Amino acid sequence: MLRVLGIILFFYILSRVDLKEIWGHVKTVDPLFFALAMLSQLALLLLKSYRWYLLNNPKSAPGELIQSMGEFFESYAIGVVTPGRLGEMVKVGYQDKKSNRWASVVRILSERGIDVGIFLAIAGAALIWGNLIPNGQFIGILIFCVGLIITTLSLLIIGNSGAKKLLSIINENLGKAYYFHSSARVFIIGILSLASNAFAFASIYFLAMGISFKISFLAVSGGMAVAGIFNMLPITVMGLGTRELVFLQLFSAFPQALVLALSGLVLIVAQWGGGLMAFVLGQVFLGMKKEA
């Protein structure tokens, strides 16, 4: 029941609003902005898949690039339609064939930590400078600092030899299977993380512009960041219910129908569209590897 809590909340929210009014906003979306939102989703998928390849290959291995990106796309597609982003477990399954599974878990947690940290930093920045909620500057500073700390620690784990020594103390086999990256590669991974998440937020902003939702890039990014963090909890599928609740709370100054129309477009583009693109790309890339 916990896993469908968000879906129950979603239908409860819809039962209290005019669905025709929501649809009226959705169908007016500008095709150009809708296309830009979809292209942004494609860009973030490609960037994150390449980041996953770099995380799992300490040395450049062109032959592994297609396989690694295919595995990422497939796990991403599964994660979209399962509670709590359970598609991450698919990554563990793939990596278990290559190295110690717990070392793979550490890298997955590091990757997730980078994204969570960026989301928290954006949410904090929106509270500080984006007027997301009244008098939210102090809370925003705290959230912003926590986000920076989580992102920094996640990058240190993949780039610091001390992490390997610590893991060796915990488990000798874990330490042997774990590897750390050069400073240059960690820097590239950090840039890819910033760029991919920037495309994620840009996608939502394009949708807001497409339905004349007059809001700043920072504010809509902060709202999406908060919703994204809740979406990682195993209480919903595709953000249903939790995203609508977060949007209605943070964007309360706007008409409810307009806010829910934006949420619906996020579902169509970021969840359905992103998931479908990831599934197709996964099959294509894994198929290319098999043929090779």
Say if CB 84 and CB 233 are below 8 A apart.
yes
Pick from 285, 228, 189: nearest CA to 85? 228
Residue ranges covered by each domain of the chain = 30-291
Say if CB 211 and CB 265 are below 8 A apart.
yes
Retrieve residue 169's tokens.
């103390």
pTM: 0.86
Task: Kindly give the confidence (pLDDT) of every residue in the chain, 292 residues in length, as a single tens digit, with 9 standing for 90 and above.
Answer: 666 777 888 888 888 889 999 999 999 999 999 999 999 999 999 999 999 888 887 666 666 788 888 888 988 888 777 665 565 666 665 655 555 566 677 778 888 899 999 999 999 999 998 778 877 789 999 999 999 999 998 888 887 766 666 666 666 655 555 667 778 888 999 999 999 999 999 999 999 999 999 999 999 999 999 988 887 777 777 778 889 999 999 999 999 999 999 999 999 999 899 999 999 998 888 887 666 5
Alpha-carbon distance values, 217 to 25, 82, 122, 185, 206 (Å): 20, 29, 11, 30, 9
Half-sphere exposure of 73 (CA within 13 A, CB side): 27
> Measured between alpha carbons, how far is 262 from 244 in angstroms, rounded to an integer?
9
Say if CB 113 and CB 122 are below 8 A apart.
no
> Measured between alpha carbons, how far is 35 from 30 in angstroms, rounded to an integer?
9
Q: Where do we find the tokens 């030899």?
A: 161
Q: What is the largest CA-CA distance in the chain?
A: 61
Phi, psi of 263 (to 5 degrees): -60, -40
